[in-house]
Each structure stands twice: as C-alpha cells, then as structure tokens.
Amino acid sequence: MILSAIIIIVVGNGGDKPSNWEVFIGIVVNIFTNAVISFITQRNVEYKVKGLMQESGAEAKVKQNGEWEVIDAAELVPSDIIGIRFGDVVPADSRLITIMKMILIDQATFTGESLPVNKLIDDEIFAGSVCQQGEAAAIVIGTGLNILFGRINMIASNVRNRGSHLQQILRFIGNYFLIIFLIFVIAKILVMYAGFHYNYRRGVNNLFVILLGYVSLAMTTVLSVILAVAIEELASVTILCTDKTGTLTLNKLSIDTSNIKKYSDVEIDDIIHYAAIASQMENQDAIDACIIEACDDIKKIREDIKELEFKSFDSIDKRTEITYRMINDGSLHRISKGLRALPIAIEDISSGHFGDEGNGFKLIGLLPIYDSLCLDTKEAIEQVLKLGVTTKIITGNQLAITKEIGRCLGIGDNIFSSEILTDGPSLESAYRDIDDIILHADGFAGVYPEHKSKIIERLQNLEYGVAMIGDGVNDAPALSKANVFILAVLNDSALIAISNDRVYPSSYPNSFFFIECPSLILVGAFILAQLIATFIAVYANWNFTNIAGCGWSWAGILWVWNIIWFFSLDFLKFGLRAYFEPLSEKRAITETLLNNFSTNLQETRRSTMSSGDDAARIVIDSNIHHAPK
C-alpha cells in the first residue's frame, strides 16, 4: 500500500490535470490508522506477556576466595562453586561435588516428575529446579543459553517464525494473486493503450483501481483483532498430544483410600494415622503432605504421643522412621514408612527403653499414592476421542505411571520409553520405522523437551495437523512447533482464553444463520460499514474519482437483493446438511472400523513375530496393513 501511494503521487501526473492528492492522503490516513491499531494491539499483548513472565532477580550463594558470598545469579560463570540448601532455586546448571545432607531436587518444571529426585555426587541439577531437602555444594557447568532452559528456549525460538497453518495458507493465496495481478496489469495496459488508445492519465487511473484492490491493507489488523485464528487452526487438528503432570493431572499427590492394601487386622484409618505419625509435620515433601491431608483431624495426629526420635529419609535406609512413647500408658513404639512404595510397618519395644531393639517390624498396610486426575480430564478426553481426534500422552514421567494414566483415560497403554525415539524399532518389532511407532503409539514416557518437539515435527511431516497441550517450560519447544498449542494454567481454577465467536464444532453446517453470528460488536461494525458504503454510493459525486451517486432507487434494489439472498442461503444449508450428515456418520463408522482393524492387525503381527512364524507371513501382514490407506 505504501508503494501504491508513492506510485499514485509520482506517476499520477499529466493530462492537464492535477495530481491525485486526495487519493494519496486517503491512502496515507488508512495506512496510519491500521498501523496504530496493530501497534496498540501488539503492545497490549506484549505487556501482558511481559507481566506474566517477569520475575524477581535470583541470587546465588557462591564461594569466592574461600568465603561464601551472596551475588546476583546473572554473575555466575562456569567453574564457580555454589551452595544449595532446602528452599533454594538452583541458579545455574551445575554438578554436585559435595553432599552434606541427602538432597532432593524438584525438577518437575523440566521433566514433569511429580516427586522430587534424590541426587548423588556427580549428578547434574538444572537451573530453575528447587531443592526440597538437604544441603550440598555444586560446581557450575552452564550459564546463559548453555543451560537446559536456554537450550529449550533456542529450540522453541527456531520455530516461532514459521507461522501458523492459516498464515501459511494466506501467504500462498497472496503469492497466487500477485501472479494473477501482474498478468491482468500487463493485459490491461495492452488493451487500454494499444487497443482503445486511452490517454495517459485515464489509463493510469484505471491501473490505480486494480493496484488498490489487490492488497487488503487491514488483513493483519483483522487477523489480530477480529479473526479467531485458533479456531481456524483447531479445525485442521487430527492428532492431540498432551503432557501429563499438571495438564491431565493436578501435579498433587493423594492417597487412594479405596485401594489401601491391609496386611494385618489394623483398620485403614489407623494405617493412615500411623503413616501420618511417621511423617514430617513441617517442611513436608509431597508424600508427607498427601498423607497428612488424608487424615480426618490433623491436630490429633500426635496428640497422645511424645516424640523421642525422628529419622528423615536417607538414601541408605530408604525410609522415614519415628520412635515415640504413648503418654497414657508409657509404652514405646517405632513406626517405619518407606518413601516410594509406602509400606507402613510398626514394632513394639517391649523393654520400654529408648534405643533398645524392638520385637520386629510388622507390615500393616500399603498406601497407594498417585497424582490425581483433573476433575474434567476423563470427560474432556472422551469428547476429543469421540470427535475422531487421536490423543497421545508425551511426558517425562515413568513408563508404568504413564501406561496406567493412559488406561484410566481410555487413550490406551501402547506407550514407549524415550529410548525408542533414538534407537528405533528392533528387527523383531511390528513397526517399520520411528515414524510408524510415533503414528501408532498411544504415548511416550521419560522424554525430554527436544523429544517432544521431534515427535510433533515428525507427525507434521506425515501431514497431520497436531495440537499440543502443556503447562511447563519443558513443553515450550513442542508448544511452539505445534499447529495449535493450548497452555494449561492451573492455579486453583483454570484460566482459559477463548474467542467471542459463538461457533460450536460440528461435522456439518448449522441450519440457522443466527447461531453462527459473531459477537454483537462485530455485527454492529458490519452494519455500520454497510450503512456508510450505502451513503457513499448514493451521494458520492466526486470529480477526482470520476464517479457519480447511484441514487436511492438502485441502493434500495441492492439492499432488497442482499436481504433476499441472506435468508435464502439457509435453504442451501438445509440441502448441505441433508447431504453431509449421512456422509459424516458413514465416515465416523468407517474410521472406527479402520482403527479397530489396525489395532487388531498390530496385535496379530506382534503375536506372529513372537511365535516364530516365517517371514513370509509377516510380509503378507505388512501389505494388508497398508491396504486401508
């Protein structure tokens, strides 16, 4: 448009007529108005993002010249010695060199693990993770873009400029019309000057009309302010990939009281009570916190006992242990609680002397602890699957946990560990290559951010529209790579940004036009624009444009014509609905049959290979597998 304005003021001279200053000024005002709108919209978005991302500057405890000092984390360099203790945020990627007390690191932001990880000497800890227990010293091995978070950001930034699927289509359409425009400009020049012998100024004015009509100046503004781009992109999605921790689940451990396993005559409530006694009441880790919350009355947990000794979890005994005396009868007891499997055992110390050996631990129960699903997760996944969208879980959690979540949600348990993404299928595998595994797997466990991004990329290379749901830094590369990303933010309630358009997903057109009307603001803007256009058409007698008003008669005829066709379009929708609804039902049935066929065929191929049948049968199965495609 800027080029058009320059051409109008430079070329639009001659023919004993003044320059087209009115048109030039109109174009400049139009450009300026849309630029201001786009700038304000973009600035508001940037301010909101900046407010969300802004954090206070981190500090680090570093050893310099033999003394411990607190400095700005940004001043750290590789080989610095830093101190880490309970509650500290790791300021840089580091390697543990000394452990004073057993150290547990919460790195859920990067790996999605619900439980903190027990770190040993020479283990790496990542910047941004949190120390949940213990004290240690570490040597800095990475800062700036060389930390894990920096590498994640680089992966994400490499795909930010790719543009959405809709933007790529619009770019293709723009290039297509550019070619058409150039062809018609050349043809019009030949016809006007060689055929009809127009004078210079008349021909130039006609070319200006084509030039101004070629580009929609407000396209960027319309896309950023009015058009629900996410809805357009979501329509092309065929595969949904989702993180687990904090997305499908609450990232909060809880005890499944209905499945507590008893190994004695001790009641379930008493088993939970014993486990709570052997838990820390302050500075709790995730497991201790969920046990305490499972008790009916927290105040009564240690009401009638006197604590004599409490042993925190360590990497050798792998349990917490408490020795206490009952206040009412003076008897001495000791409770031991494992950390991961959570077996609860109790023993009596018959001698009554603290420090003496007891009469042996007695296993009284096993507490099943799990990361609770969000309240609406199962229903949401069922709706997604009902729409025919394949769903895959991609998480850094353990394989067994991920399979159980897949079974609970109906996604499936055909889930693989991350090693298969680099090693590929074995010779005995039912899958041809990595792409075949990714396409037919129900999910992947133990993955890192770069794995998630590669999975999304491979699915896109197979020409599938991919959506990604995530909530943490470890999901950033995959979110940036996906055609559509949905950021799950759970702070006691879900914060979801949606479009104002009242459009609901459907396999066929809605019958009544008003259901598909956008928000009232857009309807009002449309009516206002039509009224302005009508008045211009009726009263515009502008000499510099060589046009004259058409009068109210023609304007009335056009309005009546448009209104008649506006309502008549619903009859077309009735016809389309009658045609597409049976096809939609047939397609859904066909897809279900093909999915069942593919699943049964994979099981057949696996059983064939495991039974040791000859290769010829496997080849036949493989050909059958390709037939539905």
> What residues are annotated to the active site?
243
Are the beta carbons of 243 and 252 closer than 8 angstroms? no
Please give the angle made by the CA atoms of 436, 439 and 443, to the nearest 5 degrees: 115
Distance CA 489, CA 470 (A): 9
Ramachandran class of 128: left when φ > 0, alpha when ψ lies in -120 to 50, beta otherwise: left
Which single residue is written with the structure tokens 């969208």?
389
Are the beta carbons of 223 and 173 closer than 8 angstroms? no
3-state secondary structure of 151: helix
51-54: long-range contacts, CB 8 A cutoff, minimum separation 24: none
Output the six-digit token pair for 172. 């293709």
Distance CA 117, CA 129 (A): 11
Q: In the β-sheet with 305-311, what is the strand arrangement from edge to edge? A: 261-262, 362-366, 343-349, 332-338, 319-326, 305-311
Which single residue is written with the structure tokens 């109906």?
410
Q: What is the DSSP string of 329-369?
A: T--EEEEEEESSS-EEEEEEETT--TTS--S--EEEEE--E
Where are the alpha helices (H) located in 441-550, listed in sequence order?
449-461, 476-481, 520-539
Amino acid (one-letter) located at 260: I
604-608: long-range contacts, CB 8 A cutoff, minimum separation 24: 605/430, 606/430
CA 83 to chain centre: 34
Output the six-digit token pair for 385. 């699957």
